Amino acid sequence: MREVGRESARLNRQLDREWDRDLGEVASRVWRQRWTEDHTLVWSIHQLDRWARRLAKERGKPIPDEDPLLRNVRNALEHLDEALFDEEHSAEPGDDPKTNRSLRNLPGGRLDIATGGKLFGNLELGELEGSLVVISTESSRSSTNRRKR
């Protein structure tokens, strides 16, 4: 994921210096790959978080709090087909208050579609990696402790 991000940044810098149609097509493919990887990561971590909470509940352990920002980003991604897109590469909820609740709940009420920086303008990759370590460590401890009984 980081490798694709570095490649995307390198291509964009090169295109900023001098436009090249062929290089632009390569950059577009790399952008789609990065966006897909970012999207998959958010969905995967959200699902793993849900499973970890369910596992804790089933084992009678304290249930970790859900990350509302992660949930809202994931849900906003699911409902992008209902969003409005502005010229700054962002998805916005539109005027109907009954739609896109998760998108409305994001900081600034928008989801960045452009890649680079925070994932979808809201999530830090390092923080997500830290969450994965905590979730997997807690799940592993629970599994190890059950096997020892």
The more confidently predicted of residues 7 and 65 is 65
Give the mean pLDDT of 77-106.
88
DSSP string, 5-70: HHHHHHHHHHHHHS--HHHHHHHHHHHHHHHHHHHHHHHHHHHHHHHHHHHHHHTTPPPPPP-HHH
Least confident residue range of 60-69, 85-94, 102-111: 85-94
149 contact partners, CB below 8 Å, separation of at least 6? none
Residue 14: predicted pLDDT: 72
Percent of the chain predicted with pLDDT > 70: 86
Query: Measured between alpha carbons, how far is 123 from 108 in angstroms, rounded to an integer?
Result: 13
Give the angle 72-41-91 at the CA atoms, nearest 5°: 45
- The residue extents of the domains of the chain are 42-148
What average pLDDT is seen over the chain? Answer: 81
Q: Is the pLDDT of residue 39 over 80?
A: yes
The per-residue pLDDT for range 96-117, each reduced to its tens digit, is 888 889 999 999 998 988 777 7
Determine how many CB atoms are found less than 10 A away from the CB of residue 53.
16
Residue owning tokens 């020892």: 148
Reported pTM: 0.75
Percent of the chain predicted with pLDDT > 90: 20
Q: Is the pLDDT of residue 94 over 80?
A: yes
